[in-house]
Amino acid sequence: MSESFHFFQFSFKDVAPSSDEVFQFINSTGIEDEHPSKVFVLEILRELENIEGISGGYKIKRDISVSRKDGLIIVDNEDLHTGKQISGYLKDATSLAVFLCTAGPVFTKTVNTLNRNGDIMEAFLLDAIGSLTVEKAMDIIQENLTDEMKKEEMSVSNRYSPGYCNWELNDQKKIFSLIGSNKVGVSLTDTCLMIPEKSVSGIIGIGNVLQKYNYGCKICNNSSCVYRKIVHDK
């Protein structure tokens, strides 16, 4: 049975990070309020209020099998080489939600303009706001999925993306193929870079005896990973 894509659209105020969250995210909580970085973040958060294009969604896939030994999850006959870490977390999953979410094109466009003008501090801060915005939008989508699955007495896992937790980034192409056509408007370059850049894609496990494991940051070297930052801040 082919599942439909559950589509969500957000206004910026639904998913906007606070100034404190931005500075926590960039590990810069000790900066005084008068610093231009603080002033810029407050101003830009106000300016972003009317931006459009923040959207995302998921599609449920019920035809799956998970092999922890092989570090493999097969979805609709598509092999996802997630690695042993993620397949271990999802060993009890009986379905998967394949997701896609974007903060829209405004962030990349404005970051590029700021960089060109030499405003690299502002570019750095706006880039961080974009990363947080898409993760917050995805949080809401995941909450919706959790609520929906509760009705079927199912629980859901954390979300996992190609490029993280030792899952090869190349599998992003398969994620896009599994999602199929949708209204989110994210494309993929040959090197698996999502355009707009402030976008996320991946999988969430679903099952009735599924346990939610913490991310395995302790055994991962990627110090700039968004999941590491988010999970450690909570």
- Interface residues toward other proteins, by CB under 8 A: 26-28, 30-31, 34-37, 111, 115, 118-121, 123-125, 127, 163, 168-170, 189-193, 197, 221-224
CB nearer to other proteins: give 162 or 205: 162
List, in sequence order, every residue forming a beta bridge with 9; answer none if it has no partner.
55
Cβ 136 to other proteins shortest distance, Å: 20
Residue 58, by phi and psi: left (phi above 0), alpha (psi -120 to 50) or beta? beta
β 54-61/64-67 pair status: unpaired
Cβ 86 to other proteins shortest distance, Å: 15
CB nearer to other proteins: give 20 or 143: 20
CB nearer to other proteins: give 140 or 192: 192
Cβ 26 to other proteins shortest distance, Å: 6
Report in angstroms the alpha-carbon separations of 122 from 40, 51, 217: 7, 18, 29
CB nearer to other proteins: give 135 or 197: 197
Cβ 119 to other proteins shortest distance, Å: 7
CB neighbourhood size of 136 (10 A): 19
Number of H helices, E strands in the chain: 8, 10
List, in sequence order, every residue forming a beta bridge with 95; answer none if it has no partner.
206
